[in-house]
């Protein structure tokens, strides 16, 4: 198989394609339509269709060229992890002000595109129903593809289930018109369907445990099935769903948005599933990255591919580097700091995110008082923070790159005679005095884009799932502490305080997820599944430089956002509701 074919196929799965043309690998040409007989007449054509099934996998890094999904920003900027600039096109600014409707959340340029899930599911079923027709594919290859399709369907259902609750359940490639006669099913029924699909993949002897061919990086594996099962069970056990009454009363439809009973055993199911997934993965070649030093392990785990030493990535995909922005190629255009390479500041880390992190001795920086640094030490408040912080967030005084050395200047003049800092808010202008480093490590000098990995599922997440579920089911245990310690010590952080009680450890784990999984598309849903209202006060620091080369840091509220409790669950698009075929709108919308 041709190398270029695989690279294009896997690279493009994480991007949303422009209208189909002859240069696009993953779609049948629009002018010829979709011809089943042609697609399944040879393995080569079937394989082309197979890669098209990966187009809607979860996306962490959106690019300006995508022209979709918040129009540049990522979900990271919908949470207290980051903030978007003031550009009117950034759709995140609408939610900050509360100016959103049901269509805002679920159509183009919103947080999710509801219709895309159903299109993907239908295509997966078309493959499932026709793969046996391919004359030149072996039984093993066909079996593998069937497993991939089942897992991709499970992924689509999980992504909808966590957003909308109970949704229609389909089990064949019905026509789009047929979908419109299917009603929403209870939350529990959808949950069981996702688990059923995961179990089918786990039992499939033909789907690989992991991808060993670098050219196939991004394809679904049996390890992912174990991981998705554990993740789904964690969501099922969490307070949003695992409750006798929902976040808002939905009358006779309460079972669409919660289980209508609290069952502590759901935490045990999640705990057991996470442990089983960990044992399966670690007995089959996966392991937490620990071989590159505390200042490098985290970068390898989050950003690099297996061929570059990442032993813990369970599912990752590559960003499509092709874009019309020329030198403003993603992710720099939307993830790079304002003022560099024409970046738009679509995603700027908040000071809230900085406060997730502790010092390497376990203490916290007291940001509630004005901090004055010694002369020529702009990095003083940050220099002892968690190495994961150093690999995720850029700050005043940080070394951006060496040879030659470039030190970042996120400051404004504190008195006459001091020049504006190059990255300061007056010079850029920007919405915060921080910048993203995560996903840009090793590419700080780049102006032409690169291929960062989207870490959709890492082994570290399974450790966190086990610790959380175990704590909720049985309180703190040695095994939960031990797994947390593995994640922390590989990044040079102290072990967890063994004196924490269940409540204390719960808060600790929520924060540890915010640190370890920073900007990996978890925080937005972690807050919701715990029924924690989204943080409305967003902080920045006012950084001033003085003639004696001292700096002051003063925390302040930079933005107050709107939050409504009915936002715990997504609305369905208004167009689906008005069709009157059984899609009942979630409460409050």
Higher pLDDT, 37 or 342: 37
Q: What is the mean pLDDT of residues 183-195?
A: 97
Q: DSSP of 322-350, one letter per residue?
A: --TTTTS-TTHHHHSPTTSTT---SSEE-
Encoding tokens for residue 45?
């054509």
Task: Please say if the pLDDT value at position 66 is more than 70.
Answer: no
Cα–Cα distance, 90 to 86 (Å, whole number): 8
SS3 82: strand
What are the phi and psi torsion angles at 457 (to 5°)?
Answer: -150, 125
Q: What is the DSSP letter of 81?
A: T
Predicted confidence band of residue 346 (pLDDT cuts 50, 70, 90): confident
Q: Could you tell me if 276 and 182 are in contact, meaning their C-beta atoms sit under 8 angstroms apart?
A: no
Task: Please say if the pLDDT value at position 328 is more than 60.
Answer: no
Crossing angle of helices 502-516 and 459-474, in 10° steps, is 170
Predicted confidence band of residue 5 (pLDDT cuts 50, 70, 90): very low
Lowest mean pLDDT among 7-11, 173-177, 194-198, 410-414: 7-11
CA end-to-end distance (rounded Å), the chain: 50
∠ CA 129-229-262 to the nearest 5 degrees?
120
- Nearest to 7, CA basis, from 148, 217, 152, 208: 217
| pLDDT one-digit tens code per residue, 191-236 | 999 999 999 999 999 999 999 998 899 999 999 999 999 999 999 9
Cα–Cα distance, 203 to 385 (Å, whole number): 44
Q: Which residues contact 193 (CB under 8 A, 6 or more apart)?
A: 157, 169
Give the H or E element holding residue 313: strand 313-318
CA 151 to chain centre: 18
- Nearest to 515, CA basis, from 493, 544, 534, 539: 493
Q: Would you state the pLDDT for residue 327? A: 41
Encoding tokens for residue 442?
């090793």
Q: Would you state the pLDDT for residue 455? A: 94
| pLDDT one-digit tens code per residue, 68-116 | 567 778 889 999 999 998 887 888 998 999 988 888 788 777 788 898 8
Cα dihedral 416, 421, 427, 431 sign: negative
Q: Could you tell me if 60 and 74 are in contact, meaning their C-beta atoms sit under 8 angstroms apart?
A: yes
- Going from the C-alpha of 524 to that of each of 82, 188, 510, 513, 567, the distances in angstroms are 11, 22, 12, 12, 11
SS3 431: coil
Task: Please say if the pLDDT value at position 149 is more than 50.
Answer: yes
Q: What is the mean pLDDT of residues 288-303?
A: 97
Q: Which residues contact 217 (CB under 8 A, 6 or more apart)?
A: 10, 211, 305, 306, 307, 316, 317, 318
Q: Could you tell me if 75 and 521 are in contact, meaning their C-beta atoms sit under 8 angstroms apart?
A: yes
Cα–Cα distance, 61 to 439 (Å, whole number): 9
Encoding tokens for residue 291?
């071989």
Task: Please say if the pLDDT value at position 534 is more than 90.
Answer: no
Cα–Cα distance, 569 to 586 (Å, whole number): 7
Q: What is the mean pLDDT of residues 413-428?
A: 95
Cα–Cα distance, 398 to 407 (Å, whole number): 6
Cα–Cα distance, 285 to 209 (Å, whole number): 9
Q: What is the mean pLDDT of residues 274-296?
A: 98
Q: Which residues contact 78 (CB under 8 A, 6 or more apart)?
A: 70, 92, 95, 111, 524, 534
Residue 331: asked if its preceding bond is cis (omega within 30°), the reply is yes
Q: Could you tell me if 289 and 312 are in contact, meaning their C-beta atoms sit under 8 angstroms apart?
A: yes
The DSSP bridge pattern shows strands 453-458 and 313-318 to be antiparallel
Q: What is the mean pLDDT of residues 364-382?
A: 98
CA 196 to chain centre: 24
Alpha helices of 139-221 — where are they, by DSSP H?
139-164, 176-179, 187-202
Predicted confidence band of residue 23 (pLDDT cuts 50, 70, 90): very low
Encoding tokens for residue 93?
């600014």
Give the H or E element holding residue 538: strand 537-545
């Amino acid at each position: 198989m041709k190398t270029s074919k695989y690279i294009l196929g896997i690279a493009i799965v994480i991007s949303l394609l422009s209208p189909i043309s002859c240069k696009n690998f993953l779609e049948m040409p629009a002018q010829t339509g979709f011809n089943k007989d042609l697609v399944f007449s040879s393995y080569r054509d079937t394989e082309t269709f197979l890669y098209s099934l990966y187009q809607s996998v979860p996306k962490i890094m959106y690019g300006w060229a995508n022209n979709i999904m918040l129009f540049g920003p990522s979900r990271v900027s919908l949470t207290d992890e980051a903030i978007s600039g003031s550009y009117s096109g950034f759709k995140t600014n609408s939610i900050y002000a509360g100016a959103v409707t049901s269509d805002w959340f679920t159509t183009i340029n919103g947080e999710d595109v509801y219709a895309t899930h159903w299109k993907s599911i239908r295509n997966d079923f078309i493959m499932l129903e026709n793969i046996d027709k391919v004359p030149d594919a072996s039984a093993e290859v066909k079996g593998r593809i069937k497993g991939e399709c089942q897992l991709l369907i499970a992924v689509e259902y999980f992504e909808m289930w966590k957003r909308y609750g109970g949704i229609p359940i389909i089990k064949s490639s019905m026509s789009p018109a047929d979908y419109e006669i299917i009603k929403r099913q209870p939350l529990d029924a959808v949950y069981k369907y996702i688990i059923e699909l995961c179990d089918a993949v786990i039992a499939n002897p033909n789907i690989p445990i992991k991808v060993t061919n670098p050219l196939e990086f991004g394809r679904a594996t049996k390890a992912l099935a174990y991981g998705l099962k554990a993740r789904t069970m964690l969501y099922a056990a969490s307070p949003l769903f695992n409750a006798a009454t929902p976040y808002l009363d939905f009358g006779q439809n309460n079972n669409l948005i919660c289980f209508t009973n609290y069952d502590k055993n759901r935490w045990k199911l999640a705990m057991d599933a996470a442990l089983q997934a960990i044992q399966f993965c670690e007995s089959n070649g996966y392991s937490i990255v620990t071989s590159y030093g505390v200042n490098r392990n985290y970068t390898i785990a989050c950003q690099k591919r297996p061929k570059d030493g990442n032993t813990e990535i369970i599912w990752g995909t590559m960003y499509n580097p092709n874009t019309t922005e020329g030198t403003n190629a993603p992710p720099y255009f939307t993830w790079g700091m304002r003022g560099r390479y024409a970046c738009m500041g679509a995603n700027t880390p908040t000071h809230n995110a900085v406060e997730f992190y502790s010092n390497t001795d376990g203490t916290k920086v007291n940001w509630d008082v004005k901090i004055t640094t010694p002369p020529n030490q702009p990095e003083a408040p940050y220099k002892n923070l968690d190495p994961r912080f150093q690999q995720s967030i850029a700050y005043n005084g940080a070394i951006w790159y060496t040879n030659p050395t470039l030190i970042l200047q996120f400051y404004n003049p504190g008195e006459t005679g001091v020049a504006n800092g190059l990255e300061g808010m007056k010079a850029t202008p920007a919405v915060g005095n921080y910048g993203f480093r995560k996903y840009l490590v090793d590419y700080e000098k780049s102006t032409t884009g690169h291929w960062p990995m989207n870490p959709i599922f890492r082994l570290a997440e399974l450790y966190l799932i086990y610790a959380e579920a175990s704590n909720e089911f049985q309180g703190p245990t040695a095994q939960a502490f031990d797994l947390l310690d593995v994640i922390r010590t590989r990044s040079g952080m102290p072990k967890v305080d063994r004196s924490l009680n269940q409540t204390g450890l719960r808060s600790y784990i929520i924060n540890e997820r915010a640190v370890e999984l920073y900007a990996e598309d978890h925080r937005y849903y972690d807050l919701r599944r715990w029924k924690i209202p989204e943080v409305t006060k967003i902080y920045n620091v006012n950084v001033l430089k003085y003639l004696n080369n001292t700096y002051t840091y003063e925390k302040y509220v930079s933005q107050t956002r709107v939050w409504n409790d009915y936002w715990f669950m997504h609305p369905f698009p208004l167009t689906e509701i008005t069709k009157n075929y059984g899609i009942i709108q979630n409460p409050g919308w």
